């Protein structure tokens, strides 16, 4: 018996993590692909006249168990991977890509879809059904349904190559990150670093059977070192190691892989009738075209550059007082922290005792309850994939709404960063509203024997960010799984996450949970005021950084031919020049570890972070004008969240706000 192909008998049919064996995956994928193909064949061979119900709906509900197993496998490959799982991923990815291509390029199936699409007027479809039909038809066309047989084969091969190479990209970054560590035996080399971080470094050393302290390139280790370490040479050394991730010519170098990935994407775009991959991607986004994205980023660049220049001049004057004539990028976090402390008398270590992880989680749960009437109850009878994971049953007015998995601490088998994902989508079928299983994964400092996990303020906002995504998934209430939760236009998907971050800066809300983990004392008013005022600290610098990533991404996906005569490093330097605020280091490049666009789903879409910031600033302004816990506005916002991809996002937004978002809302928030 293979647990993955059986009906899950766990509570709410949750993933049976404690019963899954690695050897279950490959046979399960093969069996479930065959089962899904039988469902597709039943649609194709149905002798009845093609209708919306027997073609479009039937297709939307097909492959449910395969989707669940895919989610389990690929989520674990990010959060709890191993050499064995990575090997299985290399085998499974091409099989899934081939299956996907076989469906999307099936002429008989497309013929039926097209017939329903061409005759849609006779079906009297509601808005969600129309959206499903349009998205299904477009999805097939964009997957090559109108191509001839030879080109379909080419597209299939390109898709398989892309799938494997993007997987390899991520594995290289993870290996490159894990391969480096700095062993420090002289405590003087750690001058400036707070005791709690030193304790963390000592624990890391102990885990490696070493004396002293160990710094790694995992963010909870790397960021504090760059922020507090007074030893400039060590900052330089560790920053150099970070900047060389997958860019050192070694086994895990990604430079050639970048060129191969971009070439494949360009070939795919041309095959489908687009001039470049960005055109192909943006057709399905709110922004619509590369030129609109470039104009948007350029407009922000013009507005933000003077603020960024001014911020860097302030840092340079601090560095000069320390005898540094030419400040480098590896000095930025250190002097930014000094300036922040001087301006606002705030430092992360001082604030961290007021933000123990459990308290912050309680606060975000409480906020969801206040705005959306949902509650969270820990369940110990639901299987987990690691002892660090906790599972909560989410209820709305006492009724089961969702499962929420939270996984907060770094591990060797977990990739860096923070993300929200799902194990099971929400949908309605046969009178039942099948509820979603959502997961948040982060990399916060682990608790030690003496201290709970204490968050930096940035980590507090990170948790709110990912929880905003999670709400988008948990509150989903749509008919079809393919339109549910976060299945929205990509430049709309960051609205719920970035929107929720705004609450972290509201004194009224902060006072409810920012309490010292030892004394219970509330964070003093003057510090709360400083947090509020520090919200836009280094906003010019951060904006330019994001614009730089966005411009680089957009140029990679519109000008791939230039890479024939340029190295990845040269290309990167050319297209980030306008946003660079420090001298460029010839030994480092960020592209080879730019997982968002070469492994994740942000190819030709990185701009969407700033795009969504306009939406979130405008949306929160609406709350600010009417009360941040205003129940009527919260109810309207809940409709936006629960609607998923059933409507055009601009229409959804206007229904909530009453007007289109204004870029001025972002500029006002950022620069006053």
Which of the residues are catalytic? 466
Count the neighbouring beta carbons within 10 Å of the beta carbon of residue 313.
9
Residues 14 and 403: beta-carbon distance below 8 Å? yes
Measured CA to CA in angstroms, residue 487 lies from 323, 481, 646 at distances of 52, 9, 9
Helix (H, G, I), strand (E, B) or coil at 568: helix
> Which residue from 449, 255, 457 is spatially nearest to 351, judged by alpha carbons?
457
Please provide residue 286's backbone torsions phi and psi, each rounded to the nearest 5 degrees. Answer: -65, -35
Measured CA to CA in angstroms, residue 344 lies from 77, 194, 229, 312, 668 at distances of 41, 19, 20, 17, 21
How distant is the alpha carbon of residue 501 from its chain centre? 15
Contacts of 228 (CB under 8 A, 6+ apart): 192, 193, 194, 197, 334, 337, 349
Burial 628-645 (b: 16+ CB within 10 A, else e): bebeebbeebbebbbbbb
Residue with tokens 């923070």: 418
Question: How many Cα atoms are found within 13 Å in the side-chain-facing hemisphere of 291?
Answer: 0
Residues 563 and 259: beta-carbon distance below 8 Å? yes
The span from the first CA to the last CA of the chain, in angstroms, equals 63
Instruction: Return d(Cα 315, Cα 501) in angstroms, integer.
Output: 26
Would you give the DSSP letter of residue 391?
E
Instruction: Return d(Cα 368, Cα 376) in angstroms, integer.
Output: 9
Q: Which run of H or E residues covers position 407?
A: strand 399-407
Instruction: Return d(Cα 456, Cα 441) in angstroms, integer.
Output: 17
Burial 570-603 (b: 16+ CB within 10 A, else e): ebbbebbeebebbeeeeebbbbbbbbbbbbbebb
Rg over alpha carbons for the chain, rounded to the nearest Å, is: 25
Helix (H, G, I), strand (E, B) or coil at 303: helix
Instruction: Return d(Cα 298, Cα 336) in angstroms, integer.
Output: 25
């Amino acid at each position: 018996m293979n647990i993955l192909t059986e009906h899950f008998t766990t509570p709410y049919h949750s993933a049976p993590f404690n019963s899954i064996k690695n050897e279950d995956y490959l046979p399960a994928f093969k069996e479930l692909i065959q089962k899904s193909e039988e469902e597709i064949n039943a649609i194709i061979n149905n002798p009845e006249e093609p209708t919306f119900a027997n073609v479009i709906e039937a297709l939307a509900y097909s492959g449910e168990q395969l989707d669940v197993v895919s989610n389990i496998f690929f989520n674990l490959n990010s959060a709890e991977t191993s050499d064995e799982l990575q090997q299985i991923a290399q085998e499974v990815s091409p099989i899934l890509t081939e299956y996907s291509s076989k469906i999307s390029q099936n002429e008989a199936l497309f013929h039926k879809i097209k017939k329903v699409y061409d005759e849609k007027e006779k079906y009297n479809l509601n808005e969600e059904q129309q959206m499903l039909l349009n998205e299904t038809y477009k999805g097939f066309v964009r997957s090559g349904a109108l191509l001839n047989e030879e080109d379909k084969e080419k597209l299939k091969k390109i898709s398989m190559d892309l799938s494997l190479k993007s997987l390899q990209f991520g594995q290289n970054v993870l290996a490159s990150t894990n391969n480096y560590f700095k062993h420090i035996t002289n405590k003087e080399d750690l001058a400036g670093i707070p005791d709690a971080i030193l304790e963390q470094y000592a624990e890391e050393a102990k885990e490696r059977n070493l004396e002293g302290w160990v710094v790694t390139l995992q963010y909870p280790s790397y960021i504090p070192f760059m922020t507090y370490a007074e030893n400039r040479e060590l900052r330089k050394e560790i920053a150099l190691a970070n900047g060389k991730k997958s860019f050192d010519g070694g086994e895990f170098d990604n430079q050639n892989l970048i060129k191969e990935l971009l070439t494949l994407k360009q070939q795919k775009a041309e095959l489908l009738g687009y001039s470049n991959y960005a055109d192909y991607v943006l057709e399905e986004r709110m922004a619509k075209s590369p030129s609109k994205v470039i104009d948007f980023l350029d407009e922000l660049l013009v507005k933000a550059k003077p603020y960024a220049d001014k911020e860097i001049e302030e840092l340079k004057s601090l560095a000069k007082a320390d005898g540094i004539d030419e400040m480098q990028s590896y000095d930025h976090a250190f002097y930014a922290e000094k300036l922040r402390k001087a301006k606002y008398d705030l430092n992360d270590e001082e604030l961290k005792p007021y933000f123990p992880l459990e308290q912050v989680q309680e606060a975000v749960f409480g906020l969801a309850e206040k705005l959306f009437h949902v509650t969270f109850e820990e369940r110990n009878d639901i299987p987990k994939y690691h002892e660090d994971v906790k599972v909560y049953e989410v209820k709305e007015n006492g009724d089961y709404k969702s499962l929420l998995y939270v996984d907060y601490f770094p591990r060797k088998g977990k990739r860096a960063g923070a993300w929200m994902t799902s194990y099971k989508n929400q949908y309605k079928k046969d009178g039942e509203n099948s509820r979603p299983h959502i997961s948040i994964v982060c990399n916060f400092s682990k608790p030690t024997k003496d201290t709970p996990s204490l968050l930096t303020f940035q980590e507090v906002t990170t948790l709110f960010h990912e929880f905003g995504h999670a709400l988008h998934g948990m509150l989903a209430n749509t008919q079809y799984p393919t339109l549910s939760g976060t299945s929205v236009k990509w430049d709309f998907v960051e609205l719920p996450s970035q929107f929720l971050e705004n609450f972290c800066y509201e004194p009224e809300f902060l006072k409810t949970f920012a309490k010292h983990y030892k004394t219970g004392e509330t964070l003093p008013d003057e510090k709360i005021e400083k947090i509020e005022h520090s919200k836009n600290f280094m906003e010019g610098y951060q904006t330019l950084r994001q614009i730089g990533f966005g411009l680089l991404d957009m140029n990679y996906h519109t000008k791939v031919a230039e890479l024939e005569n340029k190295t990845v490093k040269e290309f990167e330097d050319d297209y980030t020049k306008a946003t660079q605020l420090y001298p460029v280091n010839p030994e480092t490049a960020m592209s080879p570890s730019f997982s968002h666009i070469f492994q994740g789903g942000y190819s030709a879409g990185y701009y969407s972070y700033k795009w969504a910031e306009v939406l979130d600033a405008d949306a929160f302004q609406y709350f600010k004008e009417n009360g941040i816990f205003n129940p009527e506005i919260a109810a309207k916002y809940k409709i936006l969240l629960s609607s998923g991809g059933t409507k055009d996002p601009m229409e959804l937004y206007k229904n909530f706000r009453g007007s289109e978002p204004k870029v001025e809302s972002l500029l006002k928030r950022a620069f006053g």
